[in-house]
Amino acid sequence: MSAESKTSKISTEKSSNGAGKVVERGEAMTGAELLVACLEREGVEVMFAYPGGASMPIHQALSHSNKIRTILPRHEQGGGFAAEGYARVTGKVGVCMGTSGPGATNLVTSIADAFLDSTALLAISGQVPSTMIGRGAFQETDFFGMTLPVVKHSYLVTDPNDIPRVVKEAMYIAISGRPGPVVIDMPKDVQEAKVYPVFTEEIELRGYSPERSLDEETLAEVIDLLKNAKRPVIYAGGGIITSDAHKALLEFAQRAQIPVATTLMGIGGFPQSHELSLHWLGMHGTVYANNAVNEGDLLLALGVRFDDRVTGKVDEFAKHGTIVHIDIDNSELNKNKSVEFPILANIREALECMNGLLEARGYEEKTADYDFHPAWFKQIAEWKRDQPLKYTDTDEVIQPQYAIELLNELTDDDVIITTGVGQHQMWAAQYCQFDEPRNFFTSAGLGTMGYGYPAALGAKVAFPDRQVVDIDGDGSFLMNIQELATAKVEKIAAKALVLNNQHLGMVVQWEDLKYGGNRANTFLGDPSREYDPGHKKEELIYPDYVKMCESFGVTCERVLHKEDLRPAMERMLASDEPYVLDVMVPYTEHVLPMIPGGMTYKDVITEKEQEAGVNVPSAL
């Protein structure tokens, strides 16, 4: 009997226990079948799962499910990133699975990635039989123990009767409060054991209280601060998106007339086309965003964690003003930056409350009213005029920024963009425009190369009718290129725009700035071949992505000349199949502006400073 048919019979017997909870009792099934039935009950529709000896019973149960689509990645890490992409674009829990030992350890990077980027992820792993745990059995690892630092919670299931409770709790923990990854490690004997399931509709988690009550008096004090502020600014992070607070943020900014800078994770949380938008701040953010946040006299930090890529030298960050920090995670308050007003709250609820307070005090909602803070808006306008995002274009080569600008021109607001990690990641964030949340996502906290294309697969699975493009670098793309097979076989039409400079571009940039241009293992081509900096000799390009993609059955075009880029990109976007565009770009281009690690916004490097030959005496 399939897990699906068993699930349909579970509701045949309902009762109420002594505590008043409604419970359901089902017919006998294996632990693996019960796990699948529980995932179905929690609304899971997609799993990215790679089988092995310790997880085979679960895969057998999944093969009988009519509710869950099981997608076979070609590497567990790829499956984990795809689950992240699915979670980030939908706001639901992404689910991935691997077998014991190496299968489980291959999931660790994606779990850590989800942890740092607050992504709701359920990672399930098969485990050796209970009697063999701790004995060094074949393909045994302490997956429970090794993931403890990078999860919201971990479970090692030793009793099959616990499966309904564990799954329900795990899904709730992953998505509630500040989202994050949860691990369920399940021994093979637990998967094969027969059990009569008992389901409950309630959850009791002692010590876990993700719901936050609003302190309206403190929020009213924040509104009072606005009356005296002459240079207010909002610093908005990923919490705006995970809490669906983007509409409330827009209303708040328009009522209070406060400019908004987002983090990399917060891109799309505030419309970048809006007059109050400062784009995003940080190491490679706009000069005007960094200036405004650091020189404002009132900083409203919403759903952020004051990470080092934003703050630089933290003691010098935003030291000229009063800081209000609102976050749902108490551990983030006063962790990296001590602030005058640490407020524990759900960002959306806090903003909605403050919007009500503003309305009651006569603050009208306007797109932009420069009479609110005339001197401040004038200063910001000057910064925008004097230090825009810019690059030197040329017809001789394809500049990576130009390729991204062209992609932005040829796609509409509905496009979903993912990225790998490196220079292309920063350029994508700089030169694509996002006015809606959940249209751009990248590995921000962990900075994981290889993230982009698997994440694009997850997003495309969630929204098959939307255009999904991974903007990647050749180094990052190669790390999970095996997922082209997943795309082809599963008919997932995610595209990849590969900016191929034959180098680890971001590391090269640091070599140029800090080590006099000495190359230390940053060339990705074949050292036995003569390097062709102009990419005019195709036989010198290595590896050959066109041939590699052909072996996967995926179309790939290589573009060498600028005049060929637009028609090639149009063909890629028009395709209803997986597609790779291999665009050859120079490795000498640097991502600017740039604030060197551990330094301040005043140490920013722009084209002017780079031409003067700036030396960078800082750490990464």
Paired tokens of 65: 């499910």
| Distances in whole angstroms, Cα of residue 618 to Cα of each of 335, 447, 590, 592 | 23, 19, 17, 17
The active-site residue, picked from 6, 92, 152, 188, is 188
The active-site residue, picked from 60, 139, 482, 610, is 139
Q: What angle do CA 470, 267, 581 make, to 5 degrees?
A: 15
Alpha helices in 193-346 (DSSP H): 216-228, 238-242, 246-256, 287-295, 308-311
Beta bridge partners of 44: none
The yes-or-no answer on residue 372 being catalytic is no
Cβ burial of 577 (10 Å; 0-12, 13-18, 19+) is middle
The yes-or-no answer on residue 401 being catalytic is no
Neighbours of 175 (CB within 10 A): 20
Q: Please give the Cα distance from 171 to 176 (Å, whole number).
A: 9
Q: Which residues fall within 8 angstroms of residue 590, CB to CB, at 6 or more apart?
A: 423, 509, 512, 513, 610
The yes-or-no answer on residue 460 being catalytic is no
Q: Please give the Cα distance from 440 to 539 (Å, whole number).
A: 35
| Distances in whole angstroms, Cα of residue 189 to Cα of each of 55, 135, 183, 452 | 10, 16, 18, 36
Neighbours of 335 (CB within 10 A): 14
- How close are the terminal C-alpha atoms of the chain, in Å? 57
User: Sign of the C-alpha dihedral, residues 15, 16, 22, 25?
Assistant: negative
| Distances in whole angstroms, Cα of residue 172 to Cα of each of 179, 182, 526 | 9, 10, 49
Residue found by looking up tokens 């004997």 in the block: 189
Q: Please give the Cα distance from 609 to 596 (Å, whole number).
A: 12
- Ordered strands of the 13-16 beta sheet: 13-16, 22-25, 198-200
Neighbours of 563 (CB within 10 A): 9
Q: Please give the Cα distance from 119 to 113 (Å, whole number).
A: 8
The active-site residue, picked from 29, 47, 48, 76, is 76
The yes-or-no answer on residue 265 being catalytic is no
- Ordered strands of the 341-344 beta sheet: 277-280, 260-262, 232-236, 298-302, 322-327, 341-344
Q: Please give the Cα distance from 419 to 441 (Å, whole number).
A: 7
Neighbours of 375 (CB within 10 A): 9
Going by their DSSP bridges, the two strands 260-262 and 322-327 should be labelled as unpaired
| Distances in whole angstroms, Cα of residue 615 to Cα of each of 290, 313, 513 | 21, 18, 6
The active-site residue, picked from 506, 569, 572, 594, is 506
Paired tokens of 73: 């990645």
Q: Please give the Cα distance from 187 to 193 (Å, whole number).
A: 10
Q: Please give the Cα distance from 490 to 383 (Å, whole number).
A: 48
Neighbours of 52 (CB within 10 A): 19
Q: Please give the Cα distance from 607 to 199 (Å, whole number).
A: 62
Output the CA torsion 2→140→182→483 (10° steps): -70
The yes-or-no answer on residue 409 being catalytic is no
The active-site residue, picked from 1, 9, 27, 138, is 138
State the catalytic residues: 76, 138-139, 188, 506
